[in-house]
Amino acid sequence: MIKELLEYDISKLIGILWDCNPEIHAILKSEDTLQNARNKIFDYLNSIERHLYNIYSYKSFKDINLLEKNNSKECIRIFKNIITTENETISNFSPLQIIYSTAKGKTGTNNLTKGFLMEFIFLFRGINCNSGMYMEKDVPIFLKLTGIEAAKERMKSLDQYASNMERGMRRYKTGHDKELIKERAENKKFIMNLFNADEKDWQDYKWHLTNIIKDIDALKSVVVLSPDEQKGLECAKKHRIPFQITPHYLSLFDRENTGKYDCAIRAQVLPGENYCLNYIQSKESGADLDFMDEKSTSPIKGITRRYPQILILKPFDSCPQICVYCQRNWEITDIKDAIFSRDTMTNAIKWINDNRLITEVLITGGDPLTLDDVSIDWILSEISGIEHVERIRIGTRVIVTMPQRITDELVEIFDKYHELGKRELSIVTHFEHPTEMTPDSLAAIKKIKRLGINLYNQQVFTYYNSRKYESCLLRKVLKKSGIDPYYTFNTKGKDETIDYRVPIARIEQEKKEEARFLPGLVRTDEAVFNVPRLGKSHLRAWQDHEVIMILQDGRRMYRFYPWESNYALVEPYNYVDVSIYDYLKRLNDDGEDVENYSTIWYYF
């Protein structure tokens, strides 16, 4: 059904749109001004709402199930939002004008896009209690039974959910897969030969830091690059956009580039041409790449603070491996150019010492574990000397990109500053995909866990880990390995990261329809949207965001109410998402069964 819709042309979609809601079509056709049409549509929506809230209403409404009615209420709320003059003014766009002219036959198909029409088709269906989400569903049999009979029936439905999830997850590999372990051992051997290194070198993180791959030819001598990857890397080189891959991370690639399992890994570190061109264009147009507006939340060099008790300390501006979509790409430099300044850190730590309300420090960057042991020891000891600091978090991806960094000496340093009852040290890492969890990463995690130090994961939800049950498998493998899933971030809405971005509706759908099947201790992550300057907004809190517009190309505009909105009159933040149509089309083109994503339209 979705697949067919994706392929229909505009005229066919217009016909479907009017079939979905003949009442709205009739109003649009008959009213002689846009304003009259707007008023009549509000009347029409109000009348439906009255029926939805009235159990003595017409039979046709009475028989509709509660879930469908709830969805209709939600669709009405959104539709009202997007036809208000207020939101038209904010977005400088009137979808009502477009559908009004289309109904009157006054506009050709030029003004219309498939993404826009699809949004309205599903909205109209939803308003009409015809979403299709509940049509073939019945009340589960176990609810009509009691005792052991009910329990037996319940087992069947729960088994069905669990086996669907198992089947879904089996499509992806973890780094513990036996074949993958073998293949990667071969890769490692190949890279060691090429670099004239031995096992001792490989186990030495300094060897990995010295041999970071930043050069296209070096990369090509290990892995096959597709023409697109090659183009992207050349573009990065031309515009001096840094890319860095540790030998360890390179050993996780599928060297032959068969597309079997390493799409997420390649996308993580190989900047595409689109990324580079958008990055340069944004820079040249003077656009601010600092999406989070760190400049306005940094009271002193090296510190960013967005919350009452915790702040970020940034001792180092590079990482052993650079993630293409990094939110701090405006500041992340080539590792050879990154500087660790004791003076800057001394001032920053003094600032923390002088602010007794700060109880937690997140040391991040860059990746602070790129620094040597002496520097890490010094930073931790200075912060630990501050009485009011109860927790130190270290934000690092070395567990994924260079697990050799977790040496016995380093964990001894950690141990010194992890004093339960006085101060906790914890690690926040960044696994993106289950294939990144290798035996080497697990060994590093075990070393840390032995000290009683907790590890958490922050995942960025990108196109490359957004397929059905893909992130469920990541959560499972993380939890089994001793890491608690902590945050799932919406990708930053920066132009250069467009290829990575996923509609907000998909994160919401994933949490509700996939992650929900996992035990509570496994699905511990919170899906968040980071509001520039103000910080995280929880996506499951429907009160904190709403769709206020559907733009001409089908992209939704959201209004976010920051976490602080119950305490202060903070300005809401308007955000334009990527279009659901484009996302589904891309999945479809990549061979994914888009019918499995059909309810995505009803997540707002």
Q: Under a CB-based contact definition with an 8 Å cutoff, are residues 395 and 423 in contact?
A: no
> From the CB of 172, what's the least distance to ligand SF4, in Å?
21
Q: Quick one: which of 188, 208, 405, 430 contacts ligand SF4 (CB under 6 A)?
A: 430
Task: Establish how many alpha carbons lie within 13 A of residue 295's alpha carbon, considering only the half-sphere containing its beta carbon.
Answer: 6
By CB under 6 A, residue 326 contacts ligand SF4: yes
Task: Output 5 or 303, the one with its CB closest to ligand SF4.
Answer: 303
- Of 560, 596, 558, 598, nearest to 581 by C-alpha is 598
- The token pair at 329 is 């790409």
Task: Output 17 or 399, the one with its CB closest to ligand SF4.
Answer: 399
- Of 399, 454, 408, 450, nearest to 427 by C-alpha is 454
Q: How far is CA 150 from CA 38, 158, 160, 321, in A?
A: 50, 12, 16, 53
Q: Under a CB-based contact definition with an 8 Å cutoff, are residues 597 and 2 in contact?
A: yes
Which among 68-76, 216-224, 359-367, 545-553 is the span making contact with ligand SF4, rule CB under 6 A?
359-367
> From the CB of 578, what's the least distance to ligand SF4, in Å?
20
Task: Output 20 or 371, the one with its CB closest to ligand SF4.
Answer: 371
Task: Output 123 or 323, the one with its CB closest to ligand SF4.
Answer: 323
Which among 247-255, 323-331, 573-581, 583-591 is the span making contact with ligand SF4, rule CB under 6 A?
323-331
Which among 19-27, 57-65, 116-124, 316-324 is the span making contact with ligand SF4, rule CB under 6 A?
316-324
Distance (Å, whole) CA 297 – CA 415: 32
Task: Output 115 or 271, the one with its CB closest to ligand SF4.
Answer: 271
- Of 92, 31, 568, 495, nearest to 286 by C-alpha is 495
Q: Under a CB-based contact definition with an 8 Å cutoff, are residues 557 and 551 in contact?
A: yes
Q: Quick one: which of 16, 165, 312, 323 contacts ligand SF4 (CB under 6 A)?
A: 323
By CB under 6 A, residue 322 contacts ligand SF4: yes
Q: Residues 6 or more apart from 516 whose CB is under 8 A from it? A: 523
- The token pair at 436 is 């990144």
Task: Output 24 or 322, the one with its CB closest to ligand SF4.
Answer: 322
Which among 94-102, 186-194, 317-325, 467-475 is the span making contact with ligand SF4, rule CB under 6 A?
317-325
By CB under 6 A, residue 366 contacts ligand SF4: yes
Q: Quick one: which of 68, 74, 367, 432 contacts ligand SF4 (CB under 6 A)?
A: 367
Task: Output 61 or 340, the one with its CB closest to ligand SF4.
Answer: 340
Distance (Å, whole) CA 294 – CA 292: 5
Distance (Å, whole) CA 599 – CA 21: 19
> From the CB of 110, what's the least distance to ligand SF4, in Å?
41
Question: Could you identify the residue written with the tokens 């973890």?
Answer: 174
Run of H or E residues at 467:
none
Question: At 188, is the secondary structure helix, strand, or coil?
Answer: helix
Task: Output 72 or 329, the one with its CB closest to ligand SF4.
Answer: 329
- Mask: binding to ligand SF4, 390-429, rule CB under 6 A, as x and -? -------x--------------------------------
- Of 282, 283, 276, 281, nearest to 233 by C-alpha is 276
Q: Quick one: which of 125, 328, 393, 479 contacts ligand SF4 (CB under 6 A)?
A: 328
Task: Output 271 or 366, the one with its CB closest to ligand SF4.
Answer: 366
Count of residues that bind ligand SF4 according to CB under 6 A: 11
SS (H, E, C) 73-100: HHHHHHHHHHCCHHHHHHHCCCHHHHHH
In 353-471 the beta strands, taken as DSSP E runs, fall at 360-365, 391-395, 424-429, 454-461
By CB under 6 A, residue 433 contacts ligand SF4: no
Which among 77-85, 318-326, 493-501, 540-548 is the span making contact with ligand SF4, rule CB under 6 A?
318-326
Task: Output 232 or 572, the one with its CB closest to ligand SF4.
Answer: 232
- Of 352, 342, 343, 359, nearest to 313 by C-alpha is 352
- The token pair at 153 is 């029936």
Q: How far is CA 497 from the centre of its chain?
A: 12
> From the CB of 365, what's the least distance to ligand SF4, in Å?
6
By CB under 6 A, residue 248 contacts ligand SF4: no
Percentages of the chain per state (helix, strand, coil), in multiples of 5: 50, 10, 35
Task: DSSP letter for 142, please.
Answer: G
Task: Output 489 or 597, the one with its CB closest to ligand SF4.
Answer: 489
By CB under 6 A, residue 332 contacts ligand SF4: yes
- The token pair at 560 is 């976010």
Task: Output 117 or 212, the one with its CB closest to ligand SF4.
Answer: 212
> From the CB of 491, what's the least distance to ligand SF4, in Å?
11
By CB under 6 A, residue 208 contacts ligand SF4: no
Rounded to 10 deg, the angle between the 580-589 and 504-513 helix axes is: 70
Which among 250-258, 315-323, 355-363, 537-545 is the span making contact with ligand SF4, rule CB under 6 A?
315-323
Which among 14-22, 234-242, 289-297, 360-368 is the span making contact with ligand SF4, rule CB under 6 A?
360-368
Distance (Å, whole) CA 30 – CA 466: 44
504-543: buried (b, 16+ CB within 10 Å) or exposed (e) per residue? bbbbbbbbebbbebbeeebbbbbbbbbbbbbbbbebeeee
> From the CB of 241, what's the least distance to ligand SF4, in Å?
12
> From the CB of 443, what's the least distance to ligand SF4, in Å?
20
> From the CB of 459, what's the least distance to ligand SF4, in Å?
11
Task: Output 366 or 403, the one with its CB closest to ligand SF4.
Answer: 366
> From the CB of 327, what's the least distance to ligand SF4, in Å?
7
Task: Output 168 or 365, the one with its CB closest to ligand SF4.
Answer: 365
> From the CB of 395, what's the least distance to ligand SF4, in Å?
7
* Interface ranges with ligand SF4 (CB under 6 A): 319, 322-323, 326, 328, 332, 365-367, 397, 430
